[in-house]
Amino acid sequence: MIDLHTHSLLSDGTLVPSELVRRAADKGYRAIAITDHVDASNYTEVCRQILSFVSTSRGALEILVIPGVELTHVPPQLIADTIAKVRALGIPWIVVHGETLTEPVKEGTNRAAILGGANLLAHPGLITADEVKLAADKGVFLEISARKGHSLSNGHVAALAKRYKARLLLNTDAHDASDLITTEFARKVAQGCGLTVEDYDEMNRLALDCIKNI
């Protein structure tokens, strides 16, 4: 299991980063990204804390841990600039909270995230074909979500991504230990939205190749 969208109590999760990582390792994870919610009000502090945890824990952690953030409800016109500021602080993995069906995310967020240089567009809802093509061109991962609510559009996202050869990545968007899943269950989530076990294994291979170079 490779999960590149999770949250700790540095935003709205329930676990400190060390316990989140230990719980993930116990589930059989190979890699995890800690991607706490940020906007203009808190990105500097959250980035500093996540980077400090990864740096001071290096060599003692059982699995690969990637420092990241999730830009959440950031106005589309500010997304590219915020991504640039976060990257300048040393964060290598940037998620943008996409236009999920379950929240009133500002229209235009999906496109702004792709054009702005995000690594992953989370739960992109009813993303358009043009946006999926753009994500394929830019190498941006589109998320298949294991989280209740956000998962409602998984079939739509998977079908368009397959058609236009965009990268997919299945994540939990975990906020608590109970949200973490096994590889076996992740494969079932993939199958539930029309993908195959082979598709799931391939998306993990691509993601692992990507984060090894971070």
The model's pLDDT over 7-21, given as tens digits with 9 standing for 90+, comes to 999 999 999 999 999
- What is the pLDDT at residue 174? 98
Least Cα distance to 55 among 63, 70, 66, 45 occurs for 66
Least Cα distance to 128 among 173, 163, 76, 102 occurs for 163
The model's pLDDT over 88-143, given as tens digits with 9 standing for 90+, comes to 999 999 999 999 999 999 999 999 999 999 999 999 999 999 999 999 999 999 99
pLDDT bucket at 212, cuts 50 / 70 / 90: confident
- How many domains does the chain fold into? 1
Give the whole-angstrom CA distance, residue 165 versus residue 141.
11
| CATH number for the domain that contains residue 119 | 3.20.20.140
Q: Which helix (H) or strand (E) holds 190?
A: helix 183-192
CA atoms 176, 170, 3, 73: torsion sign? negative
Tell me which residue range forms the domain holding 120: 2-212
The model's pLDDT over 169-209, given as tens digits with 9 standing for 90+, comes to 999 999 999 999 999 999 999 999 999 999 999 999 999 99
